[in-house]
Structure 1
Amino acid sequence: MGVRQVASIHFKNFVAKNWSPDSDTQQKILQSDKDL
């Protein structure tokens, strides 16, 4: 696989795992980044 494809799959999996709608839990993705 190409580097770009591997990076995009990794990014997709990271977002899917860490995009929690609960504001009570500590998040790796900041709310300001989600608002973009």
Structure 2
Amino acid sequence: MSAYLKKGMRILSRKIRKILRPIFYYFAISLLFCRNLQF
């Protein structure tokens, strides 16, 4: 049971990472863009 749960958590974390990565990249790029506009 615990091994199955561990496997499920790994798959879930992979899916979450897949979703969060583009959001993080967009946030980082927009932050850099705003910083470049200020200077």
**Under a length normalisation based on structure 2, what TM-score does the superposition of the two structures give?**
0.51
Q: CA RMSD in A?
A: 2.2
- Structure 2: runs of 5 or more not aligned: 32-39
- Structure 1: runs of 5 or more not aligned: 26-36
- Count of residue correspondences: 25
The whole-number CA distance in structure 1 between the counterparts of 2:14 and 2:5 is: 14
Higher relative contact order (CA 8 A, sep 6+): 1
**Under a length normalisation based on structure 1, what TM-score does the superposition of the two structures give?**
0.54
More helix by share: 2
